[in-house]
Amino acid sequence: MYAISLGDDGAELRPLESWHAEEFLAHLDRGREFVGQYIAFGSRETDADSARALLLRYARQRAEDSGGLHGIWLSGTLVGGVLFRTFDAARGTCEVGCWLEPAAIGRGLVTRAIRVLLDWAFDERGIHRAEWHAASGNKASIAVARSLGMTRDAVLRESHPHRGTRHDIEIWSVLAPEWHAARARGGY
C-alpha cells in the first residue's frame, strides 16, 4: 500500500487497514488517557478484535465514499492518525479530525497530515467546505485549525458530554477557494 512522506523527519501517512489491528491497539494503549481527554476515539477498542472492528468500519466508510482513516507513522512506529470523520462528495462537505499519542506531540505531524487530506479533498474530489470540530479546552486541536487557515464558525455551548463534563465544541472550517488562494501564496 502507499505511504506519503510528511517531511524529512521520517514521518509518513498511510491508510490504516484491518491487518494493522494489533499495532493500532498498541498505539491506542500508549495514548489512551491523553487522547481520551476530549474525545472517545479508541476508548472502546481494548483488544485486537475490537481494534480490527473499528478499522473495518472505517474501511467500509472509505469503500462507501463516506469517510476514511489514515495513520501517521514516525520512524516506523504508528503514533497517531487523521481521518475523514464524514465525507459527502455530492454535497461538497467533509469533516476532518485527528488523534495523537503524547510521544508525537509538538512536531506538526497532524497539521502536515491534514494538509495532505485537504489537498486531496479539494483538488481531486471537488469538496467545497471542510470542517474541524474541537472541544474549546483542546488548545492543541484549535491551534491546528488555526494553522490550517480555518475560520471559527461557531461554538456549540456544552453540546458534548464526555467523561462527566459537558464541553463546548468549536466548529472551524475552510472553503476550497480560501485553501487554493492560501496555497498559491505559499501559505500551505
pLDDT digits (tens, 9 = 90+) for 136-183: 889 999 999 999 999 999 997 886 676 678 888 899 999 999 999 988
Q: Flag whether 47 is in a domain.
A: yes
Task: Count how many domains the chain has.
Answer: 1
pLDDT digits (tens, 9 = 90+) for 113-139: 999 999 999 999 999 999 999 998 899
Place of cell 486531496: 120
Band (187; pLDDT cuts 50, 70, 90): low
Q: Flag whether 77 is in a domain.
A: yes
Q: Flag whether 35 is in a domain.
A: yes
pLDDT of residue 167: 81
**What's the CATH number where 160 sits?**
3.40.630.30
Band (184; pLDDT cuts 50, 70, 90): confident
Q: Flag whether 132 is in a domain.
A: yes
Q: Flag whether 52 is in a domain.
A: yes
Q: Flag whether 85 is in a domain.
A: yes
Q: Flag whether 26 is in a domain.
A: yes
Q: Which domain holds residue 87?
A: 10-184
More confidently predicted of 117 and 7: 117
Q: Flag whether 49 is in a domain.
A: yes
Burial of residue 149 (CB within 10 Å: 0-12, 13-18, 19+) is: middle
